[in-house]
Amino acid sequence: MPAYQPNPAKEGGIDIQWVHTNVSGAPDASASKAAAQEMVALYHMNHLHTPPALNSLHIQGKAIDMDISWHGTLTILDANQKSVSITSMPRDGTNPDLIKVGATYHVIHLFDVQKDKPHWSVNGH
CB hemisphere CA count around 6 (13 angstroms): 4
String of b and e for 32-61 (b: at least 16 CB within 10 Å)?
A: eeebeeeeeeeeeeeeeeeeeeeeebeeee
pLDDT at 18 (0 to 100): 86
Ramachandran assignment for 72, one of left (phi > 0), alpha (psi -120 to 50 degrees), beta (any other): left
Average pLDDT score over residue span 12-34: 87
Q: Can you give the residue ranges of every domain in the chain?
A: 1-47, 63-121
- Note the pLDDT tens digit of each residue in 56-82: 898 899 999 999 999 999 999 999 999
**pTM for the whole thing?**
0.64
Determine phi and psi for 20, rounding to 5 degrees.
-95, 155
pLDDT at 88 (0 to 100): 98
